[in-house]
Structure 1
Amino acid sequence: MAPSVPRTRAAAALRMNQIALDNQSHMIRLLRAKLATERRESAATNEGLETKVSILERDLQIQRCDNHSLRNTVTQCHKDIDRRISQLVEAKKEHKTNQVALEASHKTIAGLTEIGFCMSKKIERMKAKNQQAR
């Protein structure tokens, strides 16, 4: 019986090694399946992230266009305000000129009225003298 014991032990060791290899093969298959699943999930996540990035980039571009349009609008408003201020300054100068001319006209009219009043008095006096002389 002695010669069969080493064979039995060797067979048992071989069988144990075979079981260990089978377990390792099974574990490798499980890990490969898990890796494939993780890769698919990663690809799906990556695709989702790329979609989000694309949407965010598009939104950013739209926002930039809106900002550019707003800047142009603000710039145009500033130009319009500057133009309107220039017009108001010119109108103020013209108003001042007209006011000075109006005051001069009032003085002229007052002077002419005074002259006319004096002339009327002289005419009245002359009429009175003519009537006394008759």
Structure 2
Amino acid sequence: MNIAAPDSSFEAPAYLARLNDEQRLAVVHGDGKVATPLLVIAGAGSGKTNTLAHRVAHLVVKGADPRRILLMTFSRRAASEMAKRVERIAGEVLGRDAAIIADALAWAGTFHGIGARLLRDYAE
């Protein structure tokens, strides 16, 4: 990952403490303003999935409606793992309400699954 240097005045929430500086910046990207696109490029095992799960949980903690979050992966296994991670991370912050988040992630799945759902929903 390669994004702007961390702001030394930024104090990360406790649930982001396990992330490195670049991962943390990706998670909080756009806080307090209109978010611009962010592309994360990193090698295998570098924490991209963990960073994305933290990003989704962070958005929900900050008030985003989980029904408006689109979370796509390549495999069903990865989609299931991603939803579990989001629920676990959100659970650290929200407690019992975290289960609601996992249920509300209606747009989490594979590229093919989400595409098929859109075709079914909007077929004429």
More helix by share: 1
Choose between structure 1 and 2: higher strand proportion.
2
Q: Of the two, which has the highest radius of gyration?
A: 1
TM-score normalised by length of structure 2: 0.17
Q: TM-score, normalised by structure 1?
A: 0.16
Where relative contact order (Cα < 8 A, 6+ residues apart) is larger, the structure is 2
